[in-house]
Amino acid sequence: MNVDRRYKVIRKIETDTASTHDSQHFDAVLDPANTCREVYADKGYPSAARAAQLKEAGYRNRIQRKGARNHHLLSARQEKRNKRIAKTRARVEHIFAGIEQMGGKLIRTIGQARANFAMTMMAASYNLKRLVYLKRAGIEVF
């Protein structure tokens, strides 16, 4: 899921079967039209190849670090970096909470096409709800 961190609006989503990990769709949700060149993600996404790919594409890597296997401790500097990233990522978690209030992300459909449609409609309804809130608050989004 690609999210506008300032207004908490969903920009882009990608769906797949439950057997694939989210990190396999990382490239699909990157939006080159997005003016923000920072990429935030949780600890399930980091890799040296991904960091190099982001740097080559002109993005700033804001993916949280995790401890190495058999050495789970991070340095004080890495902990501070993760905390700084977590403050921004917390805004994205509000979107997941909003979707959960509307019925959650659990899809009860047969077929990938119907699941894609259900998630797209859920994202669209969340965005409409969010845009109504922003409009009432007097915030010009677009």
Q: Write out the residue range of the structural domain in which residue 42 sits.
A: 2-136
Answer yes or no: is pLDDT of 1 > 90: no
The mean pLDDT value for 17-40 works out to: 81
Residue at 142 is within a domain: no
Residue at 33 is within a domain: yes
Residue at 101 is within a domain: yes
Residue at 50 is within a domain: yes
The mean pLDDT value for 116-129 works out to: 94
Residue at 129 is within a domain: yes
pLDDT confidence of residue 7? 92
Domains of the chain: total: 1
The mean pLDDT value for 121-135 works out to: 95
Confidence category of residue 66, pLDDT binned at 50, 70, 90: confident
Residue at 141 is within a domain: no
Answer yes or no: is pLDDT of 19 > 90: no
pLDDT confidence of residue 136? 95
pLDDT tens digits, 68-121:
777 778 888 988 988 988 888 888 889 989 999 988 777 888 999 999 999 999
Answer yes or no: is pLDDT of 5 > 90: no
User: Which contacts of 7-12 are long-range, i.e. CB under 8 A and separated by 24 or more positions?
Assistant: 7/130, 7/134, 7/139, 7/141, 8/91, 8/92, 8/94, 8/95, 8/130, 9/127, 9/130, 9/131, 9/141, 10/95, 10/123, 10/126, 10/127
Looking only at the bridges linking them, the beta strands covering 9-12 and 2-4 are antiparallel
Question: How much is the mean pLDDT over the chain?
Answer: 86
Residue at 15 is within a domain: yes
